[in-house]
Chain A
Amino acid sequence: MEKLKVLVVDDEPGIRSGVIRILKNYTIGFPFMEEDFSFDISEAETGERALEIIENEGADIVLLDNKLPGIQGIEVLEKISKKRIDTAVMMITSYASLDIAVKATNFGAYNFVPKPFTPDELKSSIENISKHLFLKRMTLAMKEEGKQIRFQFLSVLSHELKSPLNAIEGYLKIMEEKQAGENINDYMSMIDRSLVRIKGMRNLIIDMLDLTRLESGKKKRALCEIDINELANLAVDTIKPMAIQHNITIDSNIEKGITIEADHDELEIIFNNLLSNAVKYNRNGGKVSLNITSNDANITITVSDTGIGISTEDLPKLFEEFSRIKNSDTRNITGTGLGLSITKKMVELYNGTIEVNSKPNFGTTFKVVLPF
């Protein structure tokens, strides 16, 4: 069990004992962590005393009230920031002043806990901050081990995973309190939206698995002769149910007898991503065409749709991780913002290239060239 040191700085004994009571037997575990976190709590009733404790004993998390008898919380934070002490500070505030919030953010406060808070609110803030500390330490450890640093990526990932959870939690709270009345039918849109967000999360997890596999290199790639015709048809079959739902026809024109030495799963991901995008971003009743040709040097795969297209300004962002084109046409399409970035990485694994051509309201064509 890993211990995190929490320091509570508040002149009200009630708040200090409350925090201790709430966190004493609280532990946090995440599926990606080997050990749970538990908390060692110390307390200070003034800012001066808090600084002493932080300097002598250190603290991982400081819960800091702003109104203190001597120096104010904000000054404590300023000193921590100036001395570059590595600790995560949560300000306990009543959101009273933007001034303090801005200053606190400036001095590196991690977040704000409203006062008065409930045990659950404190726990959820502590959970967030623990996750943050864990990721930070992991990043440091990775740096030390000379591994690739992907903190930015992990941060964005945690945002992407949390926003659907927040949305679903928000709906459930409304339902729990029956805020829209007794009739279940009045909650249908909230239930539907929750299901949509869950689906989005599931897709994100699938994409993440693809990406992790790609980046960790843990799973061995199994290279073998693959019949492109067979694989492409399999991908078309996979996507068909979704196409039927949207009344979209898929035409495929695949040269027979092309084989390439590749990993089956990786090629499948390329096909699945391109075809599912062509269906997702199409219009009702539209068309998708898949063409595969080859010459001595390479295979050319083109996937065209008759969909909403992509504007010139949006094109450069297309292959970035977590970038999603947001406009009124894409509002109701769920996506993770990872599909194309994964596809591009896969294509590059084979020293291939991927190009896109698009005309808004007419459609988009992706062209992938894989050398033999």
Chain B
Amino acid sequence: MSEEKKLVLIVDDDPDYLFQMKHHVESFGFDVTTAESVAEAEKAMSRKPDLAILDLMMETQDAGFILAYKIKKDYPDLPVIIASAVTSETGLKFNLDTEEDKKWIKADLYIEKGIRPDQLHREISKLLKL
């Protein structure tokens, strides 16, 4: 295994959630780069991260899906996690009615926000095959 730390990109429009996620993910021993919008995230992608964690609802309700799609188009092997509080907070649910919709969500993992740091660590390690 290489000595260099793995780089995790975290995208969220809530600066506090972003700060806290960065704090936790850094404490797991990763390098972290952050972005507060889809545009910023695309800029940040100029240095390819090893994993990306995307908020779902940012500028638009499905910004996370769109960003995941773009990332996977450029880097099909880059693990992508979509994080959202949408279900537990608002009771709103995704509408993934067709097979096509399901194919459209290009993410490796969907997590509800509020996941415990240790659980998040396990999931990241699993995706990075550490």
Binding site for B on A (CB under 8 A): 95, 98, 101-102, 105-106, 108, 110-112, 114, 121, 125, 128, 132, 135-136, 155-156, 158-159, 162-163, 166-167, 170-171, 174, 179-180, 190, 193, 197, 326-327, 331
Please tell me if B108 contacts chain A, counting CB pairs below 8 Å. yes
| Known contacts A158-B89, A159-B90, A174-B20; 11 further A-B pairs (Cβ under 8 A) | A98-B109, A101-B109, A101-B110, A111-B87, A111-B112, A155-B90, A159-B85, A163-B14, A167-B16, A171-B20, A331-B36
User: In angstroms, how far is the closest chain A Cβ from the Cβ of B54?
Assistant: 14
**How far, in angstroms, from A193 to B7 measured CA to CA in the complex?**
26
Assess whether B17 is in contact with A108, with CB atoms less than 8 Å apart: no
Please tell me if B93 contacts chain A, counting CB pairs below 8 Å. yes
Cβ-Cβ contact count across A and B, 8 Å cutoff: 88
Residues of A within 8 Å of B105, CB to CB, are 102
- Number of chain B residues whose Cβ lies closer than 8 Å to a Cβ of chain A: 39
> Which residue from chain B places its CB closest to the CB of A117 in the assembled complex?
B116
Also in contact, A136 and B96, with CB within 8 A (given A102-B110, A331-B36)? no
Assess whether B91 is in contact with A132, with CB atoms less than 8 Å apart: yes
Binding site for A on B (CB under 8 A): 13-17, 19-20, 23, 27, 36-37, 58-59, 85-94, 96-97, 102, 105, 107-116, 119, 123
Residues of A within 8 Å of B86, CB to CB, are 159
**How far, in angstroms, from A193 to B116 measured CA to CA in the complex?**
21
Assess whether A166 is in contact with B17, with CB atoms less than 8 Å apart: yes
Residues of B within 8 Å of A193, CB to CB, are 15-16, 19
User: In angstroms, how far is the closest chain A Cβ from the Cβ of B41?
Assistant: 14
> Which residue from chain A places its CB closest to the CB of B82 in the assembled complex?
A98
**How far, in angstroms, from A158 to B88 measured CA to CA in the complex?**
10
User: In angstroms, how far is the closest chain B Cβ from the Cβ of A29?
Assistant: 19
Also in contact, A105 and B20, with CB within 8 A (given A166-B85, A166-B114)? no
Residues of A within 8 Å of B92, CB to CB, are 155
Also in contact, A170 and B17, with CB within 8 A (given A106-B94, A128-B88, A326-B59)? yes
**How far, in angstroms, from A136 to B93 measured CA to CA in the complex?**
14
**How far, in angstroms, from A291 to B10 measured CA to CA in the complex?**
46
Assess whether A98 is in contact with B91, with CB atoms less than 8 Å apart: no
Assess whether B94 is in contact with A95, with CB atoms less than 8 Å apart: no
